[in-house]
């Protein structure tokens, strides 16, 4: 590999997403051999020296850091991967952009619009390539849904509805904050299910169906106090445990969204359904290789929901993997995202969603929370362009 095509990665965070992204960096050269650029696992940064060392050895990073400030200015790093909790994204991204590094950032872009806006300004001022891991766009069946919608087969869109349901925080004994449970601490996470789960639904929805104009939301925090792992004291819970909102899209369709961590039995039920004038589409993460499609134009004797197994070599991303008909999984969405990022370095185009597009999702999240707090409709201020 020529030096100029090395993309020396500095990964921050060695948890769930640190592993998912590293797996993608490791797989990419084998399955996307035509890409010019290749990731190099240059350094990983996490706060605990023992754990970061163990991670580096297990996954094959050349070096370690325990302070991201040192990592972002290292001359042997080309791209910073932000896979740490939400409260770190803004400060790291701004420092990395100032140091001239490309940035691959986890979602949500930040805890708030006020934190996200300067991130957009920083990457644009520095002229560095940037992307945000709204990875569900790159499930082949979801990418296919985009192609079907863009072909006009659905006609005028009337409805978009989406759920993201989990059940892992129902126990009142679960503490909040600290390693592993930062998602329950509003200071670190920024919000609960809105930024964590609905942000995915909103990104996918706007990508497929255009901008969300205004929202009316309700949120609930079912368990009001939890022990905080960092202080050992019982403290109020500031996150939304559940959120339901409805909205208008710019194209005149209505949206209905729900996310919760209190749907007993649901682990990660992420679904969406779009109803158009001529046809409808639905998708379910737990059967992620399938896209369901109903076409009212079909001959009535065979009209009904089709279940398309998105695994043929002419369907999105599939030619890079196995023989037609066998399945791929969750981890492949990150490989696809990294592949598209590396391709964007060749073409000079943006790797969607970039920071500016992810800011629009942040605006919707913020309007949803503001609407719930004020019990009123809120304009999102979104200016969407796919
Ligand atoms: N795209 C997705 O589907 C998806 C899924 C899960 C998480 N996420 C996002 O990824 C990010 C990380 O989530 P996760 O589930 O991997 O969390 P995690 O708790 O599993 O891992 C977070 C890691 O960051 C490290 N860390 C925390 N503060 C740090 C700091 N100041 N400097 C360096 N390292 C630090 C922790 O030690 C840990 O290794 C979050 O923003 C989250 O919203 C996205």
CATH of the domain at 69: 3.40.50.720
Across the strands, what pairs with 295?
Answer: 279
Virtual torsion, Cα 57, 63, 68, 70, nearest 10 deg? 160
pLDDT per residue of the chain (386 residues) written in tens, 0 to 9: 778 899 999 999 999 999 999 999 999 999 999 999 999 999 999 999 999 999 999 999 999 999 999 999 999 999 999 999 999 999 999 999 999 999 999 999 999 999 999 999 999 999 999 999 999 999 999 999 999 999 999 999 999 999 999 999 999 999 999 999 999 999 999 999 999 999 999 999 999 999 999 999 999 999 999 999 999 999 999 999 999 999 999 999 999 999 999 999 999 999 999 999 999 999 999 999 999 999 999 999 999 999 999 999 999 999 999 999 999 999 999 999 999 999 999 999 999 999 999 999 999 999 999 999 999 999 999 998 86
312 within domain boundaries: yes
386 within domain boundaries: no
Write the CA distances from 124 to 42, 47, 128, 354, 356, integer angstroms: 25, 29, 7, 10, 9
88 and 144 assigned to the same domain: no
Question: Which residue puts its alpha carbon closest to atom 25 of ligand 1?
Answer: 13
Ligand 1 centroid distance, CA of 91 (Å): 15
Question: What integer pLDDT is reported at residue 139 of this predicted model?
Answer: 98
163 within domain boundaries: yes
211 and 303 assigned to the same domain: yes
231 and 273 assigned to the same domain: yes
Question: What integer pLDDT is reported at residue 88 of this predicted model?
Answer: 98
Question: What integer pLDDT is reported at residue 178 of this predicted model?
Answer: 93
Question: What integer pLDDT is reported at residue 3 of this predicted model?
Answer: 86
211 within domain boundaries: yes
Q: Are 315 and 324 in contact (CB under 8 A)?
A: no
Give the Cα separation of 310 and 140 in Å (integer): 7
Q: Are 124 and 377 in contact (CB under 8 A)?
A: no
- % residues pLDDT > 90 (the chain): 98
99 within domain boundaries: yes
110 and 171 assigned to the same domain: no
131 and 146 assigned to the same domain: no
130 and 234 assigned to the same domain: no
Q: Which of 5, 223, 202, 242 is nearest to 109 (CA)?
A: 202
Question: What integer pLDDT is reported at residue 235 of this predicted model?
Answer: 98
Burial of 294 (0-12, 13-18, 19+ CB in 10 A): middle
234 within domain boundaries: yes
Measured from the Cβ of residue 96, the count of other Cβ atoms closer than 10 Å reads 30
Q: Taking the model in full, what pTM does it have?
A: 0.98
DSSP letter for each residue of 182-221: GGG-HHHHSSSHIIIIIHHHHHHHHHHH--EEEEEEEEE-
202 and 351 assigned to the same domain: yes
Question: Which protein residues are within 6 Å of ligand 1, measured from CB?
Answer: 12-18, 45-47, 68, 83-86, 88, 106-107, 133, 135, 180, 196
Domain end marker among 84, 103, 135: 135
113 and 217 assigned to the same domain: no
384 within domain boundaries: no
Give me the number of domains the chain comprises.
2
CATH number at residue 326: 3.30.360.10
Ligand 1 centroid distance, CA of 353 (Å): 19
Domain end marker among 135, 168, 199: 135
93 within domain boundaries: yes
Question: What integer pLDDT is reported at residue 72 of this predicted model?
Answer: 98
Question: Which residue puts its alpha carbon closest to atom 3 of ligand 1?
Answer: 135
Atom of ligand 1 nearest to the CA of 66: 33
157 and 107 assigned to the same domain: no
120 and 267 assigned to the same domain: no
The alpha carbons of the chain give a radius of gyration, in whole angstroms, of: 21
- Domain limits for position 54: 3-135
Domain end marker among 74, 109, 135: 135
125 and 154 assigned to the same domain: no
246 and 375 assigned to the same domain: yes
């Amino acid at each position: 590999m020529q030096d100029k095509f090395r993309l020396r990665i500095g990964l921050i965070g060695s948890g769930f997403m640190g592993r998912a992204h590293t797996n993608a960096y490791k797989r990419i050269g084998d399955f996307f051999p035509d890409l010019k650029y290749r990731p190099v696992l240059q350094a990983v940064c996490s706060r605990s020296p023992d754990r970061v060392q163990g991670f580096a050895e297990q996954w094959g990073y050349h070096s370690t850091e325990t302070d991201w400030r040192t990592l972002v200015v290292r001359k042997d790093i080309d791209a910073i991967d932000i896979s740490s909790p939400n409260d770190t994204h803004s400060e790291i991204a701004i420092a990395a952009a100032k140091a001239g590094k490309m940035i691959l950032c986890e979602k949500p872009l930040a805890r708030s619009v006020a934190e996200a806006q300067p991130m957009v300004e920083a990457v644009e001022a520095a002229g560095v390539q940037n992307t945000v891991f709204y990875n569900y766009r790159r499930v082949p069946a979801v990418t296919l849904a985009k192609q079907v919608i863009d072909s006009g087969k659905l006609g005028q869109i009337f409805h978009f509805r989406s759920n993201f349901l989990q059940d892992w925080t129902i126990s009142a004994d679960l503490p909040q904050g600290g390693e592993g449970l930062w998602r329950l601490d509003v200071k670190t996470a920024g919000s609960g299910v809105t930024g964590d789960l609905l942000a995915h639904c909103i990104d996918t929805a706007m990508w497929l169906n255009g901008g969300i104009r205004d929202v009316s939301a309700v949120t609930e925090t079912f368990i009001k106090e939890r022990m905080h792992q960092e202080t050992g004291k019982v403290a109020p819970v500031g996150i939304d445990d559940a959120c339901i909102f409805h909205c208008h899209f710019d194209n005149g369709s209505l949206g209905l969204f729900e996310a919760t961590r209190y749907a007993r039995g649901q682990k990660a039920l992420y679904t969406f359904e779009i109803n158009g004038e001529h046809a409808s589409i639905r998708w379910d993460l737990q059967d992620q290789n399938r896209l369901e499609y109903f076409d009212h134009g079909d001959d009535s004797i065979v009209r009904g929901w089709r279940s398309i197994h998105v695994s043929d070599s002419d369907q999105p991303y599939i030619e890079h993997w196995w023989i037609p008909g066998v399945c791929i999984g969750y981890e492949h969405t990150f490989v696809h995202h990294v592949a598209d990022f590396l391709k964007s370095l060749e073409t000079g185009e943006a790797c969607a969603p970039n920071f500016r597009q992810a800011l629009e999702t942040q605006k919707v999240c913020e309007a949803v929370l503001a609407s719930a707090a004020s019990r009123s409709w809120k304009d999102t201020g979104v200016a969407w362009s796919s």
